[in-house]
Amino acid sequence: MKRLLALTAAAFLTLPLTPATADPAGTPGAAGAGDPYFPGQGNGGYDALHYDLTLDYDPASGRLSGRADLAARATQALSRFNLDLVDTLTVRSVTVDGRPASYTQSGSELVVTPPRTLRDRRGFSVVIRYDGNPAHVIDPDGSMDGWIKTDDGVFNANEPQGAMTWYPGNHHMTDKATHRFTVTVPGSVVAVANGDLVRKASKGGRTTYVWNSREPMAGYLATVSIGTFDLADSRIGRYRVTTAVDPKAAGDATGFAERHPPVLDYFSGLFGRYPYSSTGGIVDHAPEVGYALETQTRPIYPRVPSESLLAHELVHQWFGNSVTPTLWRDIWLNEGFATYGEWLWSERRGAQSVQDAFDEAYARPAEDEFWQTPTADPGGPENLFHAPVYDRGAMTLHVLRGAVGDDAFFAILRAWVREHRYGNADTAAFVALSQRVSGKDLAGLFDAWLFKPGKPSL
Ligand code: TRP
Ligand code: ZN
């Protein structure tokens, strides 16, 4: 479900401008979505609509056997197209519209040539059978990403590039699609994914879990996590809360499910209704993983989260998951907003006020390296999750709030989630929206806080 092309004006000018109708044989789809931070991520020429993934995993051997049924739509006359899948997994067969297709694998690109050209705007289906022993990748910032093995299964977090380590797809964040996961594992472990648990059935010592993620999702937000979990699924207040907690997780997980509704009620009041059919979280025991992730509907944590971290990952469900950036460079639209959410929740529960949190972050001396990174341009993929993206991002929002007042500020946030629900939007769109809703010229403010290095004055 591609709503926006991730192309800069400059990249656009270098594209061949041949209209599809002039070439009935079609042309190959691009091997990437055009994101400078991860050039090979995503693919051109088609729009992924739905992934139906059937996975079988054995934690003891580390073996995954998978079948991916993809429903897609061509966005050009397509002679050939790519999917992102690392070649540590072996593709065994590919069909397109039920007919055998030829394919090659190299690096993280699976290249499929259908027996006949796919007509522009036509829907088509792809079935890919694959297997192997998935492994995580190491990101430019040195962290682990993807299919991360634990003592009892898998901690599966995929931001920014892990999705290609376990399923084939169009894995740039601009191509969202609905997902359904049918996962079979030994009866001693649980498989938990995004969305609603729709079925659980055991047979011959193995258990199959079916999870339906009915709202569109970017690949980096998908998860299939496996391990010894206590799985609980209940309705609490207005929410279906599904939690999976590793009994070995450090800290006290009592009441973990019950902690979600008050946070979600509070943020629904500020941002508009919670955008997903269920919520909850996955609490794994993964001391080797240094971060949590806002996996859609159900964040994943390497230990029982603090109240701040819980709020952070739940705010991402609106900012990041429902409204997703168009390029990785705009990551502050995720992390700055989620950090501001931490500040809001802290004040709400009577801990540190938003103003105190701002003052503390702003107190960094002007010579501090921190101020050299502009909020809206972290400079490269190695800085995606660095402090300026989080703290300067949150400070930017607080300064905006001060400039336009509370009413206009929260009206901007509500308009942002309403106008871009389940879609993508970039920093320029946020600047334009802020000016439209507030009726103020905010060019100077955003220039200092978003685009220029150096400590902005107040
Ligand atoms: N988006 C995550 C969060 O803030 C953080 C995250 C994802 C991360 N991938 C990472 C942090 C890799 C460091 C390294 O909730
Ligand atoms: Zn975050």
Could you tell me which residues come within 8 angstroms of residue 86 by beta carbon, excluding any fewer than 6 positions away? Answer: 107, 108, 137, 164, 165
Question: Helix axis angle, 332-348 relative to 393-404, nearest 10°?
Answer: 70
Measured from the alpha carbon of residue 384, the closest ligand is: 1
Report the distance separating Cα 75 and Cα 85, nearest Å.
Answer: 21
136, 156, 159: residue to mutate for ligand 1 pocket, most atoms within 8 A of CB: 159
DSSP code per residue over 118-148 = BPTT-EEEEEEEEEE----EE-TTS-EEEEE
Q: How far is the CA of 220 from the centre of ligand 1 (A)?
A: 11
DSSP structure class, residue 175: B
Cβ atoms 168, 184 nearer than 8 A: no
Band of the pLDDT at 6, cuts 50, 70, 90? very low
**Structure confidence by residue, pLDDT tens digits, 55-83:** 999 999 999 999 999 999 999 999 999 99
Q: How far is the CA of 145 from the centre of ligand 1 (A)?
A: 9
Could you tell me which residues come within 8 angstroms of residue 359 by beta carbon, excluding any fewer than 6 positions away? Answer: none
**Structure confidence by residue, pLDDT tens digits, 429-446:** 999 999 999 999 999 999
Buried/exposed code over 165-180 (b: 16+ C-beta within 10 A; e: otherwise)? bbbbbbbbbbbbbbbb
pLDDT value at 422 more than 60: yes
Cβ atoms 303, 251 nearer than 8 A: yes
Strands 224-227 and 190-193: antiparallel
Report the distance separating Cα 87 and Cα 67, nearest Å.
Answer: 15
Neighbours of ion ligand 2 (CB under 5 A): 335, 338
pLDDT value at 21 more than 70: no
Across 379-393, average pLDDT: 97
37, 291, 337, 382: residue to mutate for ligand 1 pocket, most atoms within 8 A of CB: 291
DSSP code per residue over 287-351 = TT----B--TTS-EESSPPPHHHHHHHHHTTTBTTTEE-SSGGGTHHHHHHHHHHHHHHHHHTTS
Cβ atoms 86, 108 nearer than 8 A: yes
Q: Measured on CA atoms in the order 277, 281, 282, 286, is the torsion positive or negative?
A: positive
Across 285-310, average pLDDT: 97
DSSP structure class, residue 42: S
Band of the pLDDT at 23, cuts 50, 70, 90? low
DSSP structure class, residue 440: S
138, 173, 293: residue to mutate for ligand 1 pocket, most atoms within 8 A of CB: 293
Q: Provide the whole-model pTM.
A: 0.94
- Ligand 1 atom closest to residue 338's alpha carbon, by position in its atom list: 4
pLDDT of residue 5: 43
156, 337, 385, 389: residue to mutate for ligand 1 pocket, most atoms within 8 A of CB: 385
Q: Which two tokens stand for residue 8?
A: 């800069």
Cβ atoms 269, 238 nearer than 8 A: no
Measured from the alpha carbon of residue 142, the closest ligand is: 1
Report the distance separating Cα 43 and Cα 82, nearest Å.
Answer: 6
- Output the CA angle 177-183-185, nearest 5 degrees: 155
User: Looking at ligand 1, which residue's alpha carbon is closest to its atom 1?
Assistant: 293
Q: How far is the CA of 337 from the centre of ligand 2 (A)?
A: 8
Mean pLDDT computed over every residue of the chain? 95
pLDDT value at 353 more than 80: yes
Cβ neighbours of 217 (radius 10 Å)? 26
Report the distance separating Cα 230 and Cα 246, nearest Å.
Answer: 6
Q: Side-chain half-sphere of 320: how many Cα atoms within 13 Å?
A: 27
Q: How far is the CA of 374 from the centre of ligand 1 (A)?
A: 19
**Structure confidence by residue, pLDDT tens digits, 154-210:** 999 999 999 999 999 999 999 999 999 999 999 999 999 999 999 999 999 999 999
**What are the backbone angles phi and psi of residue 89, rounded to the nearest 5°?**
-100, 140
Which among 120, 115, 80 has a CA at the least distance from the CA of 99? 115
pLDDT value at 4 more than 50: no
Band of the pLDDT at 3, cuts 50, 70, 90? very low
Percent of the chain beyond pLDDT 70?
95
Buried/exposed code over 313-326 (b: 16+ C-beta within 10 A; e: otherwise)? bbbbbbbbbbbbbb
Please confirm whether the linkage preceding 100 is cis (ω < 30° from 0): no
User: Looking at ligand 1, which residue's alpha carbon is closest to its atom 15?
Assistant: 293
Q: How far is the CA of 334 from the centre of ligand 1 (A)?
A: 10
**Structure confidence by residue, pLDDT tens digits, 38-56:** 999 999 999 999 999 999 9
Percent of the chain beyond pLDDT 90?
93
pLDDT of residue 10: 42
- Ligand 1 atom closest to residue 292's alpha carbon, by position in its atom list: 15
Q: How far is the CA of 84 from the centre of ligand 1 (A)?
A: 21
Across 218-243, average pLDDT: 98
Report the distance separating Cα 344 and Cα 353, nearest Å.
Answer: 8
User: Looking at ligand 1, which residue's alpha carbon is closest to its atom 13?
Assistant: 385
Measured from the alpha carbon of residue 336, the closest ligand is: 2
Which among 292, 237, 294, 279 has a CA at the least distance from the CA of 262? 237
Which among 41, 29, 45, 92 has a CA at the least distance from the CA of 66? 92
Report the distance separating Cα 108 and Cα 53, nearest Å.
Answer: 19
Measured from the alpha carbon of residue 159, the closest ligand is: 1
The partner residues of 46 in beta bridges, in order of sequence, read 74
Question: Maximum distance among all alpha carbons in the chain?
Answer: 67
Cβ atoms 67, 85 nearer than 8 A: no
pLDDT value at 14 more than 70: no
Cβ atoms 294, 221 nearer than 8 A: yes
pLDDT value at 18 more than 60: no
Across 418-427, average pLDDT: 98
Which among 402, 306, 394 has a CA at the least distance from the CA of 357? 394
Pocket around ligand 1: residues whose beta carbon is below 6 Å from it? 139, 141, 143, 159, 291-294, 312-313, 335, 385
Band of the pLDDT at 250, cuts 50, 70, 90? confident
Q: How far is the CA of 25 from the centre of ligand 1 (A)?
A: 43
pLDDT of residue 8: 42
Q: How far is the CA of 156 from the centre of ligand 2 (A)?
A: 16
